[in-house]
Amino acid sequence: MSALPACPQCQSEYTYEDGGMYICPECAHEWSANDTAAPAADEARVYRDSAGNVLADGDTITVIKDLKLKGSGGVVKMGTKVKGIRLVDSDHDIDCKIDGFGQMSLKSEFVKKV
């Protein structure tokens, strides 16, 4: 009657579809309607510097432009080297510690991997 595939696990024909998933009521196996494709990788965020290099935790970067600090009035000078960055999932996506400034958050678009 329908084109539903048999369960790949127990060969049951009583499978049904639910929201893009096929479900087998006999063995409770669930699989995607387009399961033949490779499973989508977890959408891990990729962090890239101003030049498009992929950044990773612990990388050393340099600041590519003078960055004014809110409040304190200080400026992180272009070319400042920052070791041991940590990537975070936010607007300012790099957590780091800069000598003379302490803990900072930077944007990856304003840095370059060393």
Minimum CB distance to Zn ion smaller for 24 or for 96: 24
21 binds Zn ion (CB under 5 A): no
Q: Which of 6, 9, 33, 69 binds Zn ion (CB under 5 A)?
A: 9
Residue 54 DSSP label: B
Verify binding: residue 111, Zn ion, rule CB under 5 A.
no
Nearer to Zn ion, 12 or 62 (CB): 12
Judged by beta carbon, residue 25 or residue 58, the one nearer Zn ion is 25
Name which position in 5, 12, 86, 101 contacts Zn ion (CB under 5 A).
12
Is the dihedral angle over the CA atoms 74, 75, 81, 86 positive or is it negative?
A: positive
Q: Distance between CA 111 and CA 49 in Å, rounded?
A: 6
Residues 22 to 41 in contact with Zn ion, rule: CB under 5 A: 24, 26-27, 29
Could you tell me the CA-to-CA distances from 79 to 30, 47, 55 in Å, in that order? Answer: 53, 20, 17
- Which residues, including other chains, have CB under 8 Å from residue 18's CB and lie 6 or more apart? none
Please report, as ranges, the residues that interact with Zn ion according to CB under 5 A.
7, 9-10, 12, 24, 26-27, 29
